[in-house]
Amino acid sequence: PAGKSADYVNTGTWAKKAFSEAKIVGKARLAGSVEEADGTCKRIPKASELDWDASAAYAHICSNNTIMGTQFHEFPDTGAVPLICDMSSDILWKPIDVSKFGLIYAGAQKNIGPSGVTLVIAKKSLIEAGREDIPKIFRYKEHAKENSLLNTAPTFAIYMMRNVLQIVKEQGGLPAMEKRNREKGALIYGLLDESSSFFRGPVEKESRSFMNPVFRLPSEALEEKMVSDAKKAGFVGIKGHRSVGGIRISQYNAVTVEQVAKFVEFAKGFAKANG
């Protein structure tokens, strides 16, 4: 609202983009950043590093940073300031206490379903206080009032989301998802820690993402060879984002422990042959 500002934390590409967009429509303030001189973010900031404005309209974070391979494992305490979180890439990876947030938003395209729909969990009091000087389509309270039918809904994406949520429930819910995701993380990070002279993980251990482990090899030529050899072995999409390079293993909920174990087996063989 007029006369207020919002706090943003920069932990990577998507958090930085959110901050940039916020400045277009209001006053946004950087409460913390871990971006290094080369543009990379290798960790999540400590609570002591964050400078919150006690009078901010809200505080915004991105829970998982797909490009940088970092993830919040403890959410910051913003006191009376509503905490807004972009959970697009790690919602449903484990149980979350939603009461700690003013609003959570998540694009469906990682753990929930196909792209085209966004899940929003919001406190009614927060969205009721939303701005009135923007088009209705951008006001969450209008969507809530119309039971998410303010506009013609993307019915197929919602149908698929319903199916995915049903499967998650049938497979044991979020406690089961967390157990599986931690097993996958242990496999990949075990590989990096055991073969640190060949596979170099740039992210600090306390900040490692369970959704998007990233690592580098001794040379870019070897990284290209690994991507090529992996494709022949049946593993696709492991090339790191173009902005940072390297290797990225996106192991969302749909990826099984067995599939990750097979990749680790392949990676060990590649290191032995090329190390």
State which amino acid sits at residue 75.
F
Active-site pick, 14, 16, 52, 184:
14
Determine which one of 7, 52, 110, 184 is catalytic. 110
Residue 110 designated active-site: yes
Judge whether 14 counts as a catalytic residue. Answer: yes
Per-position DSSP letters for the chain, written without gaps between them: -TT-EEEEEE-SHHHHHHHHHHHHHSEEEEEEE---TTS---SPPPGGG----TT-S-EEEESEETTTTEE-SS----TTSPEEEE-TTTTTSS---GGG-SEEEEETTTTTSSSS-EEEEE-HHHHHT--SSS-GGG-HHHHHHTTT-SS---HHHHHHHHHHHHHHHHTTHHHHHHHHHHHHHHHHHHHHHHTTTTSB--S-GGGB-SS--EEB-SSHHHHHHHHHHHHHTT----BPPTTT-SEE----TTS-HHHHHHHHHHHHHHHHHH-
Q: CA nearest 71: which of 37, 96, 102, 108?
A: 96
Closest CA to 64 of 19, 94, 36: 94
Which residue among the candidates 16, 52, 86, 90 is catalytic per the annotation? 86
Positions annotated as catalytic residues are 14, 86, 110
